[in-house]
Amino acid sequence: MNAVLWFRVTNPAQAIIQVANFNQAGYQLAVTALRNAIGQHQLDEGLKSRRQINAILQQLVDGAASPWGGQIEMVEIKDGEIPAFMQRAMAREAEAIREKRARIIKAEAGLEVGIKLPQGAKEMEGSPLALERRRMQMLSEIGIDNNTTTIVRIPAEFSNAARSFTRMMQPPEKS
């Protein structure tokens, strides 16, 4: 993490007498405060909540430079670089979270299917036409591929019904 530190000398005599190198002391104070502030957060939190970390930094350094004759006006995180090994670890974690969600969704879908299928079967139980319609749907789903041959057995009741329907539709014979 990189941070920017704004400070000014308020008492030049103290800045020379109280500390060997005011600039170096301010830098060391800011680096220590940055480490403390970042150490309180997880990495992904730290990347998302810069304002909160900046406020913590300001609290940590506020007043610390006054005995040296200085005032630290503002400390802000400028940017952060994540090492490659951490990026890979974060990517693995994100993938594991997505995998977990996918498995939960799949399990919930399986549960719902387990509930709905018996309900549907119970509804179709009393209707032979509904059962036959479902059978025909399944056959069409099975035969989706072009290279599939499907042999369908048609119940005799359908054949008889079709013949009687055809007879009803034919005009009466002339004598």
pLDDT of residue 102: 95
Three-state SS at 153: coil
Report pLDDT for 69: 82
- The whole-number pLDDT of residue 175 equals 57
* pLDDT for residue 80: 63
Phi, psi of 3 (to 5 degrees): -135, 160
At position 71, the amino acid (one-letter code) is: Q
Tell me what pLDDT residue 101 has. Answer: 96
Domain residue limits, the chain: 2-81, 83-143
Handedness of CA 160, 163, 166, 170 (dihedral sign): negative
CA dihedral sign, ordered 76, 82, 87, 93: negative
CATH of domain 2-81: 3.30.479.30
Query: How much is the pLDDT for 47?
Result: 59
Token pair recorded at residue 141: 């789903």
Amino acid 135: pLDDT: 78
Length of the chain: 175
Determine whether 37 is exposed, middle or buried from the number of CB atoms within 10 Å of its CB (0-12, 13-18, 19+): buried
Averages of pLDDT over runs of 10 residues in the chain (175 residues) are 78 85 82 75 62 75 78 73 76 92 95 89 80 79 70 72 73 66
pLDDT at 32: 81
* Predicted pLDDT of residue 54: 75
